[in-house]
Amino acid sequence: MAEALERQARALLSAAAVRARAGEMLDIGLAGGLSHFTVDLDRMDGVAEAVLAVTRKAYPALDVPFHARWRHFVIEGVDRWADLANVASWPDRAARARAEFDLAIVSVLLDAGAGAAWRYRDAISGKSIGRSEGLAIASLDMFANGLFSRDAGSPLRADADVLAQLPLAGLTAAFQVSAANPLLGLEGRTDLLQRLGRLVAERADVFGLHDTPRPGGLFDHIAAQAVGGTVAAPAILSGVLNQLGPIWPSRLEVAGVPLGDCWRHPAIKANDATAGLVPLHKLSQWLSYSLIEPLQRAGFNVIDIDGLTGLAEYRNGGLFVDHEVLRLRDPTDAARAHAVDSLLVVEWRALTVALLDRLAELVRAKLGRTRETLPLASILEGGTWAAGRSIAFSRRPDGSPPLKVISDGTVF
């Protein structure tokens, strides 16, 4: 019985489960069965056109890279990480991949919503950069300066013991936080990195196969499972969820398995212990997309990119609300702040994942592309995230999302 329960729980730690349950939520919405949203698919063509417009502007040749953290390390056409990595001395490709895994994991975990007020002053360009791009450059600077390394002579690494003892004051200073420059969820971010450090230190069998324990050891764990030099993208997510899952604070568990970014909604039916559960795994999938390129640079062939799903976050979700594909049953809900585990937010995020799949098919049809030539990861980058941000700024001066979510810095 216990084994069966654990098997059911682990089935939720997959992109397939996210896609299936999100699709179920959309079906319920289309049948008029959701408590907070109605769905109007007739407006999807307008969304597809908006996504195409921003994609063509950013990538005129439609050679769109994957949606990944690496895009945020490029400022004014200069790839800051490549500049660092290309002059560093790596004993082999795996050593660089471990460093890139270290950086991607730490940077993505620091990437929850910053709030509208926070800015990071970039010493190189002199620009003040906000939101996700600001968090990215801040985290890259921390990494380059050896904030996470125990060896001053080898700054480009994150060591488990350093992360486990990372002081709040260290991140506060590194993020340039002050009363005049507040950053949402700073304590949550610090706690998450400390949890990461403790977990990695305890699991040297996973994270210390070819080095002292470090998050980048996940590269060796995933590489060891490659078949003929090939890794399926959903297997990256499985590695992230199963190995890093315990770092997420006080979330749902089934049979002792922490379910991460997974929430309750009574409309979702199942004949087992997973009834009423909606997995979304936003940050973990964002991280998985960001681990594809380090694996490719290390010589692995990564397949089934579309096995991962769209990301249940406020830019993608806001795209559908602002374009009125999703409409609130109670318009006054737009003025209220909602807990991340509220039925409204769970519905919104699950609907977002399912609608992104539908949108991708529309965009590909307009361009005559296939999943292979224009994967979902590229449509997100082109794409949906930018179109969500664009319409947000056209509707609201501060570019805030159309719905307010109370987040602790570990979800969005």
pLDDT tens across 102-139, in order? 999 999 999 877 777 899 999 999 999 998 899 999 99
Query: How would residue 246 be classed by pLDDT, with cut points 50, 70 and 90?
Result: confident
Give the pLDDT score at 412. Answer: 53
Distance, in Å, from the CA atom of 132 to the CA atom of 399, rounded to the nearest integer, reads: 13
Axis crossing angle, helix 93-109 with helix 131-144, rounded to the nearest 10 = 130
When pLDDT is cut at 50, 70 and 90, the band that residue 304 belongs to is very high
Q: Tell me what pLDDT residue 407 has.
A: 74
Our measurement of the distance from residue 180's CA atom to the centroid of its chain's CA atoms, rounded to an integer in Å, reads 28
Pick the closest to residue 326 from 312, 306, 341 (CA basis). 312
Q: What percent of the chain has pLDDT over 90?
A: 86
CA-to-CA distance for 129 and 122, rounded, in angstroms? Answer: 7
Residue type, 5: L
- pTM value is 0.94
The pLDDT tens digits for 143-170 are 999 999 999 899 999 999 999 999 999 9
Average pLDDT over residues 262-270: 96
Say if 169 falls within a structural domain. yes
Is pLDDT above 90 for 274?
yes
In a domain, 167, yes or no: yes
Average pLDDT (289-309) is 97
Whether the predicted pLDDT of 226 surpasses 60: yes
Which amino acid makes up residue 41? Answer: L
pLDDT tens per residue, range 168-225: 999 999 999 999 998 888 888 899 999 999 999 999 999 999 999 999 999 999 999 9
CA distance 67 to 382: 8
| Helical packing angle, 233-244 and 15-30, nearest 10° | 100
257 beta partners = 254
Q: Is residue 383 part of a domain?
A: yes
Tell me the per-residue pLDDT of 335-381, one tens digit each, with 9 for 90 and over: 999 999 999 999 999 999 999 999 999 999 999 999 999 999 999 99
Domain count, the chain: 1
pLDDT of residue 408: 60
* Distance between CA atoms of residues 297 and 384, nearest Å: 26
Is 12 contained in some domain?
A: yes
Residue 291 placed within a domain: yes
pLDDT digits (tens, 9 = 90+) for 1-11: 778 999 999 99
DSSP reduced 3-state for 327: strand
Whether the per-residue pLDDT at 410 is higher than 80: the answer is: no
Which pLDDT score is estimated for 247?
87
Which residue range is the domain that position 273 belongs to? 2-406
CA 201 to mean position of chain CA atoms: 24
Closest Cα to residue 246, out of 286, 208, 200? Answer: 200
Q: Is residue 412 part of a domain?
A: no
412 or 73: which leads in pLDDT: 73
pLDDT band at 230 (very low <50, low <70, confident <90, very high): very high
- Mean of per-residue pLDDT scores for the chain: 94
Q: What is the mean pLDDT of residues 70-93?
A: 95
Task: Establish if 411 belongs to a structural domain.
Answer: no
